Amino acid sequence: MEFTLKLPNHPPRSYGHNSLTPLQRSSLYGNKPASLARPRRKVTCSSGYITRNSAPFPSTMDCHRHFLPNEARGTQLKTRTSVKPVNEELVEDKSKDLQVTGDSIRRRFLQFYASRGHKVLPSASLVPEDPTVLLTIAGMLQFKPIFLGKVPRLVPCAATAQRCIRTNDVENVGRTARHHTFFEMLGNFSFGDYFKKEAIKWAWELTTIEFGLPANRLWISIYEEDDEAFAIWHDEVGVPVERIKRMGEDDNFWTSGITGPCGPCSEIYYDFQPEKGHSDIDLGDDTRFMEFYNLVFMQYNKKDDGSLEPLKQKNIDTGLGLERMARILQKVPNNYETDLIYPIIQTASELAHVTYETADAQSKTSLKIIGDHMRAIVYLISDGVVPSNIGRGYIVRRLVRRVVRTGRLLGIKGDGKGNTDGAFTPHIAEKVIALSSHIDEDVKGRTGRILEELKREELRFVQTLERGEKLLEEMLSDALASAKEDGRFPCLAGKDAFLLYDTYGFPVEITTEVAQERGVVVDMKGFDIEMDNQRRQSQAAHNAVKLEVGEGADIMENISDTEFLGYDMLSAKAIVESLIVNGKSVLQVSEGHDVEVLLNRTPFYAESGGQIGDHGFIYISEGENRENVVMEVKDVQKSAGSIFVHKGTIKQGVLEVGREVEAAVDAKLRQGAKVHHTATHLLQSALRRIIGQETSQAGSLVAFDRLRFDFNYHRPLADTEILQIEELINGWIGDAVLLQTKVMPLAEAKSAGAIAMFGEKYGEEVRVVEVPGVSMELCGGTHVFNTSEIRGFKIISEQGIASGVRRIEAVAGDAFVEYVNARDYHMKRLCTMLKVKAEDVTTRVENLVEDLRLARNEISNLREKTAVFKASSLANKAFVVGTSKEIRVLVEYMDDTDADSLKGAAEFLMNNLQDPAAIVLGSCPGEGKVSLVAAFTPTVVDLGVQARNFIGPIAKLCGGGGGGRPNFAQAGGRKPENLLNALENARSELVRILSEKAS
Q: How many CB atoms lie within 10 A of CB 826?
A: 9
The reply to whether omega before 33 is within 30° of 0 (cis) is no
CB 545, CB 138: distance < 8 Å: yes
Strand order in the sheet with 775-778: 740-745, 765-771, 775-778
Instruction: Please check whether residue 80 is in contact with residue 116, taking contact to mean a CB–CB distance below 8 angstroms.
Output: yes
CA angle 634, 635, 639 (to 5 degrees): 150
Count Cβ atoms within 10 A of the Cβ of residue 624 and give its class: 0-12 exposed, 13-18 middle, 19 or more buried: exposed
d(CA 201, CA 119): 19
Measured CA to CA, the distance from residue 364 to residue 16 in angstroms comes to: 26
Long-range contact pairs involving 313-316 (C-beta distance under 8 Å, separation at least 24): 313/149, 313/191, 313/192, 314/192, 314/195, 315/147, 315/189, 315/190, 315/191, 315/192, 315/261, 316/157, 316/188, 316/189, 316/190, 316/194, 316/195, 316/196, 316/198, 316/199
Q: Return binding residues.
A: 677, 681, 779, 783
- Cα dihedral 730→736→741→746 (10° resolution): -40
Taking each helix axis from N to C terminus, what angle separates 667-691 and 719-734, rounded to the nearest 10 degrees?
130
**CA 354/CA 188 separation, integer angstroms:** 41
Q: How many CB atoms lie within 10 A of CB 293?
A: 23
Instruction: Give pairs for 624-628: CB < 8 Å, separation 24+.
Output: 627/652, 627/653, 627/654, 628/652, 628/653
Asked if 414 and 424 count as a contact pair (C-beta separation under 8 A), the reply is yes
Pairing of β 616-620 and β 660-665: antiparallel
Contact between 873 and 963 (Cβ < 8 Å):
no
Alpha carbon distance 146, 556 (integer Å)? 12
Q: Are 854 and 847 in contact (CB under 8 A)?
A: no
d(CA 566, CA 222): 52
Binding site, annotated residues for Zn(2+): 677, 681, 779, 783
Q: How far is CA 151 from the centre of its chain?
A: 26
